[in-house]
Amino acid sequence: FGADVEWYPVWQAQIPAGETPRLYIDIGEKDRYLSPATNFKDWLVELGIPVEWHLNPGTHNEEYWSSHVREYLLWYAQGFKED
């Protein structure tokens, strides 16, 4: 979210009750963005916003992302409902 992080509470307040999007954050232990990502996750938790957090071995590169695609897809697929 970078510079937009200040807007998140405003955006969150505009989401109708019961329709908060599911949030999944994962990051490598050696990712250059680990500190801001951790701060963002902690901030979400303080606001009472549910977040799925995963800290894994790795860094910020395609090898990391591609090794976790299956996890992302399975997690997001859990949110789909069949009618």
Type of residue found at 69 = V
Whether 16 has a pLDDT exceeding 70, the answer reads yes
Question: What token pair was written down for 10?
Answer: 């405003």
The residue with tokens 């897809």 is 73
Instruction: Say if residue 34 is exposed, middle or buried (CB neighbours under 10 Å; 0-12, 13-18, 19+).
Output: middle
pLDDT for 18 equals 81
Q: Give the Cα separation of 28 and 57 in Å (integer).
A: 5
What is the average pLDDT across 37-47? 88
pLDDT for 59 equals 96
Half-sphere exposure (Cβ direction) of 39: Cα atoms closer than 13 Å: 8
pTM of the shown model: 0.77
